[in-house]
Amino acid sequence: MHFTQSQMADILEFIYTGSLQISNLQKAEDLITAADYLFLERLKFFAQKFIAQNLSTANCISHYYLAEKFNSEELINSSRKFIHLNFSTVAESEEFLNLPSDEVAKWISSDHIVISEEEDVSRKEPARCEIRRTFSSRTTDLHVA
């Protein structure tokens, strides 16, 4: 793995001081990758905590899968909870609409998604149509056992 000079400076600062100023999500994502590679669990935890505090409907899906990739349990749980609680809005996001059909099926079949009212669902009809269209066009990718 290759580290930039800036990333190495951040890693060394954290090792020596036990703290680090994380100013943006990209920096936090890079730190999770580096910390995982270098087995720096405390730095990984620190970076995933920053991401969890900055989740939005636009980034929660990608951060959930980043957390899965690096086995970051706290971020997995935070992202999943955020997605469930904000599902109506998340389901309209570009990240969600670009998911593979098996992942869409996993999310929409969850018993934990929260939709505030039945009317909320009907107001989201354009997104539902897009999800159905996307899901229908991708069902040929699904293999039923």
Distance CA 133, CA 12 (A): 49
Q: Do 3 and 60 share a domain, yes or no?
A: yes
pLDDT in tens, the chain (145 residues): 889 999 999 999 999 999 999 999 999 999 999 999 999 999 999 999 999 999 999 999 999 999 999 999 999 999 999 999 999 999 999 999 999 999 999 999 988 998 876 535 445 555 555 555 655 555 555 554 4
pLDDT at 117: 63
Domain that holds residue 20: 1-72
Q: Do 128 and 99 reside in the same domain of the chain?
A: yes
Residues in the chain: 145
Going by C-beta distance under 8 Å and a sequence separation of 6 or more, which residues neighbour residue 41? 35
Does 80 map to a domain? no
DSSP state of 111: T
Residues 56 and 99 in one domain: no
Amino acid at 28: A
111-128 b/e with 16+ CB inside 10 Å = b? eebeeeeeeeeeebeebb
Write out the two tokens for 142: 């699904």
Please tell me whether residues 40 and 91 are part of one structural domain.
Answer: no
